[in-house]
Structure 1
Amino acid sequence: MALITFVRRRPWWLAGAAAILALAVAAVVLVAVRPGGQDTPGEGSADVGFARDMAIHHQQAVELSFIVRDRTDDEDVRRLAYDVINTQANQRGMLLGWLEAWDMPKSSQKPPMSWMDHGHGSMSMPMYEAHDGSLMPGMATNTQLDQLRKADGKAAEVLYLRLLTTHHKGGVEMSQAAADMAGDAKVRRLAEGMVQGQESEMKLMADMLAERGATP
């Protein structure tokens, strides 16, 4: 009987501890849902603009890499293409996931890169004019994509390396702007990682072009 009385009469501090624990769990969930644990970025923010534009930019790099895998047997080029496909497809999924978590549409009627500060390099001053399927700086045109689809062997390798180098240059400039302007810490970290990773790949591609007697 004494034991039953003890179980029914929980100490007052135990209920308080349970409440504190519940609040802590709720805070952890909130941080997990909102990248960086900050207020949700809104329409017009660098975070949202970067996520939308870089998702599109990455999609084309993945497409270029899938094309070249079928146009050459060179192991070095195919390995690079495989790395680009995996890295940029994963990053693209993260960017789209953030837009979903922020309850933001994945597309906009505004021109690409309208979120960028006009002090961030030539790509934003003047505003880039889309042409022949190239929506942003660095993106290949539809004509260039068709040329890659028709090329074989060394010609395909050189064209891919040149197109991807130009693509990375545009991506680096956009990522640097996001690293400087985004309000969410996780967005800034991802953007900084993109700058470092793509600059490293550009150096690798310069060496690969030189091995093939070509220039960027």
Structure 2
Amino acid sequence: MISEVQPSAPDASADASEAGGAPQRRFGYLAVATLLVGLILGIGTGLVVPGLRHPGDDSVEAGFLRDMSTHHAQAVEMAMIAHAGSTNPDVVTLAADIATTQQGQIGYMQSWLRDWDLSPTGTAEPMAWIPGSDGSIVNGLMPGMATPEQMAALRKATGKDLDVQFLTLMRAHHVGGVHMAQEGVELSGNENVDWIAESMVTAQQGEIQLIDSLLKKAQAS
């Protein structure tokens, strides 16, 4: 006689495993999904937030960098004129230092504007980034800048006259530049702008003292 095969009883342990495994798997999927969402949001924030932190087109920082680039450009031109035409070694050395330093600073300032996706020039009036600065602009020129007539005379000058004109114009130029840089330090909230503005104040104040000494010697010769 063939014995009847009794159906085996359900495996209680397997059911328990499956019953407990489903919630665990669901928790695992949820954890992975949460991590992925966090990663995506983190990447998005990393890409977006720095852009939001960049100074805007009408910011103090953008205005300062644009105006100081223009201010520096004239100083570099004056320095190159003196470097090429002066026969005074001290004046030639000073002119080289000014041209090299300020051209390098122009490079920094223009690079930051590009990094911020801003134009190197703006539509705002010069010095508009400084509250109440309307009286600082004379004939469209920022503080200390030489007039077109003064620049033309400097290009024609030779000998002692060249040295005296250059030192006189550069002293006024530095005084105006220091004023602008001090305003930049006070008004800006950007660490790069603060750093370069403070560097300008320190360097140009020191050069003003040297210019005074050289000017006195040139005038007495």
TM range (shorter): 0.7 to 0.9
- Alpha-carbon distance, 1:126 to partner: 2.1
Residue 170 (structure 1) aligns with: 176
Give the distance between the partners of 2:178 and 2:48, measured in 1 at CA.
Answer: 31
Give the distance between the partners of 1:38 and 1:64, measured in 2 at CA.
Answer: 39
Q: 1:47 aligns with which of 54, 61, 69?
A: 61
- Alpha-carbon distance, 1:189 to partner: 1.3
SS at match of 1:108: coil
SS at match of 2:53: coil
Q: 1:210 aligns with which of 178, 191, 216?
A: 216
1:68-127 CA-to-partner distances (Å, cap 9, x unmatched) read 122211111000010011100000010000100001111122210000122xxxxx2525
More relative contact order, 1 or 2 (CA 8 Å, 6+ apart)? 1
Answer whether contact 1:49 1:113 (CA < 8 A) is retained: yes
* Amino acid corresponding to residue 76 of structure 1 in structure 2: D
SS at match of 2:181: helix
- Identity in percent: 39
Residue 156 (structure 1) aligns with: 162
Answer whether contact 1:67 1:149 (CA < 8 A) is retained: yes
Aligned length: 181
Q: Normalising by structure 1, what TM-score?
A: 0.76
* Amino acid corresponding to residue 94 of structure 1 in structure 2: Y
Q: Normalising by structure 2, what TM-score?
A: 0.75
Answer whether contact 2:136 2:143 (CA < 8 A) is retained: no
SS at match of 1:212: helix
Question: Is the counterpart of residue 77 in structure 1 residue 77 in structure 2?
Answer: no
Question: Is the counterpart of residue 183 in structure 1 residue 189 in structure 2?
Answer: yes
**After the TM superposition, which residues 97-136 of structure 1 pair with which residues of structure 2 at under 5 Å, given as runs?**
97-118=111-132, 124-131=133-140, 135-136=141-142
SS at match of 1:110: coil
Answer whether contact 1:62 1:84 (CA < 8 A) is retained: yes
Structure with larger Rg: 2
More helix by share: 2
Answer whether contact 2:71 2:177 (CA < 8 A) is retained: yes
- Alpha-carbon distance, 1:52 to partner: 0.2
Residue 5 (structure 1) aligns with: none
Structure 1 residues 39 and 48: CA distance shift in structure 2, 3 A: same
- Name segments (4+ residues, structure 1) moved above 6 Å: none
- Alpha-carbon distance, 1:38 to partner: 8.6
- Alpha-carbon distance, 1:210 to partner: 1.1
Q: 2:105 aligns with which of 72, 80, 91?
A: 91
Give the distance between the partners of 2:69 and 2:104, measured in 1 at CA.
Answer: 10
CA RMSD of aligned residues (A): 2.5
